[in-house]
């Protein structure tokens, strides 16, 4: 885990650390990707599906605040996952404003694009072999 450096949230964790916290019950994983991304690209079993922004148009999800607070019930840490680790930073900042101990998962579900523009080749939850499913 990296320290926050005034990021506005608790810090960044590797996909492996997030998976370990999720498995131990220390944290709940909140997947902030859109419903379409989870449906078509894949999802993490046991994660809370809670879009940060909604497709189409990427409008803010009005249910996010209540959903992330509910996910943290009992004082659990929340680890936030998006495609590449960008939306999850914004979501972690918002969750922190709401009083949640929130962490960004580095690399996201698919990681950054490689030199050909393809994802799942350079980092990410799937590339690292962590549990996921696809419909």
**pLDDT surpasses 70 at 40:** yes
Query: pTM for this structure?
Result: 0.90
User: Across the chain, how many H-helices and E-strands are there?
Assistant: 4, 7
**pLDDT surpasses 90 at 112:** no
Contact 102, 10 (CB under 8 A): yes
Separation between Cα atoms, residue 20 and residue 18, nearest integer Å: 5
Confidence of residue 4 (pLDDT cuts 50, 70, 90): very low
The dotted CATH code for 11-105 is 3.40.250.10
pLDDT for the residue 63: 95
């Amino acid at each position: 885990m990296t320290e926050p450096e005034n990021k506005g949230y608790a810090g960044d964790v590797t996909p492996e650390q997030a998976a370990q916290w999720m498995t131990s019950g220390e944290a709940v994983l909140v997947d902030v990707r859109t419903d379409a991304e989870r449906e078509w690209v894949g999802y993490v079993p046991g994660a809370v599906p809670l879009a940060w922004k909604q497709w189409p148009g990427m409008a803010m999800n009005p249910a996010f605040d209540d959903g992330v607070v509910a996910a943290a019930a009992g004082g659990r840490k929340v680890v936030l996952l998006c495609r590449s680790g960008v939306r999850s930073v914004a979501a972690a900042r918002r969750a922190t404003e709401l009083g949640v101990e929130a962490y960004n998962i580095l690399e996201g579900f698919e990681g950054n694009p490689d030199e050909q523009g393809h994802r799942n080749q350079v980092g990410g939850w799937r590339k690292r072999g962590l549990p996921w499913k696809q419909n």
